[in-house]
Amino acid sequence: MIALLSRDLILSFRAGGGFGLALAFFLIVTVMVPFSVGPQSSLLATIAPGVLWLGALLACLLSLDRLLALDWEDGSLDLLATAPLPLEMVVSVKAFAHWITTGLPLVFAAPLLGVLLNLPAPGYQWLVISLLVGTPALSVIGTFGAALTVGLKRGGLLMSLLVLPLYVPTLIFGAEVARRGALEMELATPLVMLGGITAACIALMPFASAAVLRINLR
């Protein structure tokens, strides 16, 4: 399992879909927002939590099309399917590798980009916490989308259409945690809901992804 994780981390950097591309996209989205809505500090402070969460979500989505495609192209996926390691564990390791190379860097970059959007000072802590809790769900759900479209030509667009609706609950509660944190409001309910969504995704999605992969590999 450690060997598979190390291999996926190395491939994610060599394939050009690692944290660099996601961070660049996240930065571009954050920088473009003030140009589109104007330089009003109060307006930027109001929309900052939602914009940062949406930017992180789209940045995670950006690298999903290569999550299983490399293994499909070189035949490694067939070997992994017949390996002693359960296929559910294989997709879990791949989701974890995606989170390390994409989700985790976004968590650390978000407070720095929050400065550009005039995020209120109390919101930085809760922005990081909400992303730290919610981004694993994005990677796990994205792995399911990658499993659905593996082997399809130009499956990236189809995967985006399939995955984005599944991302909506995580986006809603994640942005709400960051928004309430910035306004110093009570945030236990959205934080618990966000954690519950992530826990449910981690517990259930690997089984769905493995089942879809078995069907595609037949």
CA 84 to CA 100: how far, in whole Å? 24
Nearest partner of 64 among 106, 27, 104, 94, judged by Cα: 94
CA 48 to CA 53: how far, in whole Å? 8
Question: What pLDDT is recorded for position 14?
Answer: 66
What's the helix, strand, coil split of the chain in %, to 5? 85, 0, 15
Going residue by residue through the chain (218 aa), what tens digit of pLDDT does each one get?
A: 677 777 667 766 665 555 578 888 899 988 888 888 887 888 888 899 999 999 999 988 887 877 777 777 666 776 777 777 788 888 898 889 889 888 899 999 999 999 888 899 889 999 999 999 999 999 999 999 888 888 776 666 788 888 999 999 999 999 999 999 999 899 999 999 999 999 999 999 999 988 988 887 77
Cα 201–Cα 204–Cα 210 angle in degrees, nearest 5: 115
CA 27 to CA 32: how far, in whole Å? 9
Instruction: Tell me the C-alpha to C-alpha distance, in Å, between residue 85 and each of 54, 90, 93.
Output: 35, 7, 11
DSSP structure class, residue 103: I
pTM across the whole model:
0.89
Cβ atoms of 150 and 216 within 8 Å: the answer is yes
pLDDT in tens, 137-196: 999 999 998 888 887 766 667 888 889 999 999 999 999 999 999 998 999 999 999 999
In sequence order, which residues have a C-beta less than 8 Å from that of residue 1 and are 6 or more positions away? 85, 89, 93
